[in-house]
């Protein structure tokens, strides 16, 4: 038993280290890689995926796992979780042919560049054939994983183990009408003005680094760079984030950073004893998103924290437009028309996600084909938001996810918001003086509570169990909707 676990642990540690190197290649591709290197990078990524796939499908894993699973009572909780993760990864690997895994890595690496160029030119037709390639490969992968079961559910397991489309759809169907009703009510009320003027982009980056550290991001184990699409990458002692700047919208930079700091803090906060083990990364994208969204919204857009942020921005940029901290809070939380998911206000964000969830599910199940995707996107967007998409880069081409094969990822954004609503209720109960701390720019109590209840455990528990252990209740959409309704009825005097 001991020999089997030691052999398994050593194998998994080396696999995790190689996966981190592969992740660094992806970070490099998004930030500083020369454009002309795209085809070569595709080959490099395919080679790395081939190595990783071979390790995860290694026949020795079957022997070690069988020996350990034969006596589960002898396993500690950490060992049992390690075996659970290793079993899941191994079973997945042996179902997907090595040829297919490498081809997906190669095609999606190249596809990302094709998407970026098509987005810049507002030309969906230029991207459609490549997207068709990616989709065909992901359908093939999903079918291999599903083994006659639901193909979309099989793909979903890569991002939210244990979840199903039926479960998510029931939750989302409960959210959708209440969101639409609240948004309609808010649209009929007077909106606060936006910020006015221009904001030096270098100063934005200086401020955003200070805010990142305020939220607990350890710059000795991380870095902040600029990219078209903000993201977080890595785990353990090398966790990097990116953001973006706009001279007329400093909130884009600040809140993109706070969001990614939530992801990064989760990875940095995991028990160091789990480093380079199956437990040494966030347990799911839904739980990951719960951290980024609670950092960004329930903490970062709160009345208390924005009163502190108002002073910080006034010091650096002078007059912002809003006369005082209360007016600034209203401006930060302004509900506004827009096309871009990552720039959406807190209230409308989930409608963007639900649109993508429904469309990608239809693509995977062949109820929708790539040739009809743009039309379907535009029709759904206008139905949900009340105005038409003006160009592809503001519509079907805005997100990178499908170009890199992340089918099954989108629903975890809204699931993360649901989890964040649950965590926020529990945090408020545990920290009665939270607002006083936030108003002073002190995030340590909030981020410390999240680190203790969620982050340090990494992959020790299953996703829903992680939230249940932190909150004492099963996840539900009700806390999120109660929070949104209370906040925006107050803001808009409804």
pLDDT in tens, 351-393: 999 999 999 999 999 999 999 999 999 999 999 999 999 999 9
Q: Tell the residue number behind the tokens 């909707």, with chain if given.
A: 481
* Cα distance between the two ends of the chain: 63
Contacts of 321 (CB under 8 A, 6+ apart): 193, 194, 195, 196, 197, 331
* DSSP characters over 405-464: T-TT-THHHHHHHHHHHHHHHHHHHH-TTHHHHHHTT--HHHHHHHHHHTGGGTTSS-HH
DSSP secondary structure code for residue 295 in this structure: I
For residue 173, count CB atoms less than 10 angstroms from its CB and return exposed for 0-12, middle for 13-18, buried for 19 or more: exposed
> How do 238-243 and 222-226 pair as beta strands?
parallel
Tokens of 17: 């280290």
Helix (H, G, I), strand (E, B) or coil at 242: strand
DSSP secondary structure code for residue 166 in this structure: H
DSSP secondary structure code for residue 244 in this structure: -
* DSSP characters over 205-218: HHHHHHHHHHTT--
Cα 96 to Cα 30, 101, 155, 264, 456: the distances in Å are 27, 7, 12, 30, 32
DSSP secondary structure code for residue 473 in this structure: S
| 304: nearest Cα among 423, 484, 443 | 443
Domains with residue ranges and CATH for the chain: 2-149 (no CATH), 165-491 (1.10.1370.30)
Tokens of 483: 């929070």
Across-strand partners of 421? none
Per 3-state DSSP, the chain is made up of helix, strand and coil in percentages (nearest 5) of: 70, 5, 30
Q: Do 200 and 249 meet the contact criterion of CB atoms below 8 Å apart?
A: no
What's the pLDDT at 1? Answer: 64
Residues of each annotated binding site for Zn(2+): 259, 263, 289
Q: Alpha helices of 215-333 — where are they, by DSSP H?
A: 250-269, 285-293, 303-317, 325-332
Torsions phi, psi for 243 (to 5 deg) = -145, -175
Contacts of 255 (CB under 8 A, 6+ apart): 296, 300, 301
What's the pLDDT at 305? Answer: 98
Q: In angstroms, rounded to a whole number, what is the distance separating the alpha carbons of residues 364 and 195?
A: 41
Q: In angstroms, rounded to a whole number, what is the distance separating the alpha carbons of residues 38 and 139?
A: 24
Helix (H, G, I), strand (E, B) or coil at 243: strand
The dihedral built from the CA positions of residue 399, 402, 405 and 407, taken in this order, carries a sign that is positive
Residues (pLDDT < 70) of the chain are 1
Q: Is 260 a catalytic residue?
A: yes
The dihedral built from the CA positions of residue 400, 404, 408 and 409, taken in this order, carries a sign that is negative
Q: Do 216 and 265 meet the contact criterion of CB atoms below 8 Å apart?
A: yes
Q: In angstroms, rounded to a whole number, what is the distance separating the alpha carbons of residues 485 and 494?
A: 10
Cα 108 to Cα 62, 141, 285, 343: the distances in Å are 30, 13, 20, 25
Q: Do 307 and 439 meet the contact criterion of CB atoms below 8 Å apart?
A: yes
Q: What digits encode the pLDDT tens for the residues 95-149?
A: 999 899 999 989 998 998 899 999 999 999 999 999 999 999 999 999 999 998 9
| 18: nearest Cα among 89, 108, 110 | 89
* Structure-derived torsion over alpha carbons of residues 70, 72, 74, 75, reported in degrees to the nearest 10: 120
What's the pLDDT at 487? Answer: 97
Q: Alpha helices of 241-281 — where are they, by DSSP H?
A: 250-269
Contacts of 217 (CB under 8 A, 6+ apart): 241, 261, 264, 265, 268
Contacts of 63 (CB under 8 A, 6+ apart): 4
Q: In angstroms, rounded to a whole number, what is the distance separating the alpha carbons of residues 426 and 419?
A: 11
Angle, to 10 degrees, between the axis of helix 250-269 and the axis of helix 303-317? 120
Marked catalytic residue, from 103, 160, 260, 374: 260
Q: In angstroms, rounded to a whole number, what is the distance separating the alpha carbons of residues 304 and 231?
A: 26
Q: In angstroms, rounded to a whole number, what is the distance separating the alpha carbons of residues 17 and 3?
A: 21
């Amino acid at each position: 038993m001991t020999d089997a676990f030691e052999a398994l642990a050593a194998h998994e540690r080396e696999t995790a280290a190689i996966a981190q190197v592969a992740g660094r290649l992806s970070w490099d591709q998004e930030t500083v890689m020369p454009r002309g290197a795209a085809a070569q990078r595709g080959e490099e990524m395919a080679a790395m995926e081939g190595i990783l796939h071979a390790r995860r499908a290694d026949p020795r894993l079957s022997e070690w796992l069988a020996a350990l699973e034969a006596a589960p009572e002898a396993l500690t909780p950490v060992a049992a979780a390690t075996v659970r993760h290793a079993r899941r990864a191994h079973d997945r690997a042996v179902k997907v042919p090595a040829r297919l895994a490498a081809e997906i890595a190669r095609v999606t690496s190249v596809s990302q560049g094709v998407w970026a160029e098509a987005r810049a030119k507002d030309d969906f037709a230029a991207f459609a054939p490549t997207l068709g390639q990616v989709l065909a490969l992901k359908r093939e992968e999903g079918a291999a994983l599903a083994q006659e079961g639901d193909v979309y559910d099989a793909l979903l397991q890569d991002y939210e183990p244990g979840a199903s489309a039926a479960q998510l759809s029931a939750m989302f169907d409960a959210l959708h009408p209440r969101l639409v009703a609240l948004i309609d009510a808010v649209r009929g009320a007077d909106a606060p003005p936006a910020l006015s003027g221009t904001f030096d982009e270098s100063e934005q980056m200086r401020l955003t680094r200070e805010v990142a550290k305020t939220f607990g991001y350890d710059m000795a184990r991380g870095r902040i760079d600029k990219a078209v699409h903000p993201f977080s990458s890595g785990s353990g002692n090398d966790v990097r984030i990116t953001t973006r700047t706009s001279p007329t919208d400093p909130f884009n930079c600040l809140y993109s950073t706070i969001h990614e700091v939530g992801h990064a803090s989760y990875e940095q906060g995991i028990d160091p004893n789990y480093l380079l083990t199956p437990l040494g990364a966030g347990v799911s994208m839904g739980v990951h998103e719960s951290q980024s969204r609670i950092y960004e919204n329930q903490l970062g857009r709160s009345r208390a924290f924005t009163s502190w942020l108002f002073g910080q921005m006034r010091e650096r940029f002078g007059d912002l437009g809003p006369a005082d901290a209360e007016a600034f809070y209203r401006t930060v939380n302004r509900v506004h028309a827009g096309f871009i998911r990552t720039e959406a206000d807190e209230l409308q964000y989930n409608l963007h996600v639900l649109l993508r969830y429904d469309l990608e599910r239809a693509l995977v199940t062949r109820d929708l084909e790539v040739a009809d995707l743009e039309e379907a996107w535009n029709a759904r967007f206008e139905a949900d938001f009340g105005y038409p998409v003006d160009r592809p880069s503001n519509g079907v081409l805005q997100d990178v996810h499908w170009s890199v094969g992340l089918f099954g990822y989108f629903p975890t954004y809204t699931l993360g918001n649901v989890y964040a609503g649950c965590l926020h209720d529990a945090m408020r109960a545990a920290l009665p003086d939270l607002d006083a701390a936030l108003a002073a720019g002190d995030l340590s109590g909030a981020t410390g509570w999240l680190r203790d209840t969620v982050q340090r455990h990494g992959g020790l528990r299953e996703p829903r169990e992680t939230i249940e252990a932190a909150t004492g209740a099963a996840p539900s959409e009700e806390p999120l909707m109660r929070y949104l309704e209370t906040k925006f009825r107050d803001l808009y005097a409804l």
